[in-house]
Amino acid sequence: MKILVQILLCVVFSYGFEAVNGTVAVLEFDGSTQTLLKESGPLPLLAHPKDPSKRIAFVAVPYRHSEDIDLVRIVGDKKELVRLHVKQGDYKKETLSVDPAHVSPPKEALPRIQAEREEAMALYATFTPTRYWNVPFEFPIQSAITSDFGNARVFNDTLKSYHSGTDFRAPVGTPIVATNDGVVVLAKDRYYAGGSVILDHGEGVYSVYYHLSSLPHPVGAPVKKGEVIGLSGASGRVTGPHLHFGFMVQGVPIDPLDFMEKINGLF
């Protein structure tokens, strides 16, 4: 924080972007940009997927974040303030009825839940410098959306969380495909998410697929866009069979449809 404040004192020019909480801001800069700083440290400057004269940066805005985010762009000896204005999304509330054990789990399940959470967060905190994808992203299934990202989740009359992905209608056994090229970094049954697959797409981007009934690929397996990475199911905390699909960027769950639209718009 002190370093950023000191840099801001020297800023000579500023301009801004905006993003909704629970989404990723995809910022584009010309190739002269040397460094992009956030309070927590430098943000990776990534190759533009189509224009070699540009660079891009992801800024993931957590769902519960409400304040503007200040960044500093450094070009030579010039420092520019980049202010990301954070708008609050118009998210809905939904009431669900599920197995009581998945709302208030028994004590014996708590160590498993904690271990699974720590395992996943360690994966999301891993930055793979290789970009595995070079084409637009696609939906993992062509089906109706049954629950949007960001909905407040009221399980059995108890507000427990918000929806960190998008749910698609998917009868048990429906093939689920990879949204883009990547590497399987998790394939296992978990308490809340049920049969789970997580793909690393490189550069801090992970896609997730939950409640599956079949997990054909082992950890470490490379997969191609459109390749079947599992079959839908009704495992974990569910009201019925469906696919929960999402993205984690910089360790933050973000709206997958918004992310795909922004990335695909670069092509």
Q: What are the tens digits of pLDDT across the range 215-250?
A: 999 999 999 999 999 999 999 988 899 999 999 999
One-letter identity of residue 132 = Y
* Long-range Cβ pairs for the range 212-221 (8 Å, 24+): 212/176, 212/243, 213/172, 213/173, 214/173, 215/187, 215/188, 217/184, 217/187, 218/184, 218/187, 219/184, 219/185, 219/186, 219/187, 220/183, 220/184, 220/185, 221/183, 221/184
For residue 203, the SS3 value is: coil
Q: What are the tens digits of pLDDT across the range 116-160?
A: 999 999 999 999 999 999 999 999 999 999 999 988 766 665 556
pLDDT at 2: 46
Question: Residue 197: which of 3, 188, 206 has the closest Cα?
Answer: 188
Given a cut of 80, is residue 114 above it in pLDDT?
yes
Higher-confidence position of 41 and 97:
41
Given a cut of 60, is residue 194 above it in pLDDT?
yes
The overall average pLDDT reported for the chain is: 90
Q: For each of the domains in the chain, give its residue range(s) and CATH number, in order of start.
A: 2-87 (2.60.40.10), 93-264 (2.70.70.10)
Model-wide pTM > 0.95: no
Given a cut of 70, is residue 7 above it in pLDDT?
no
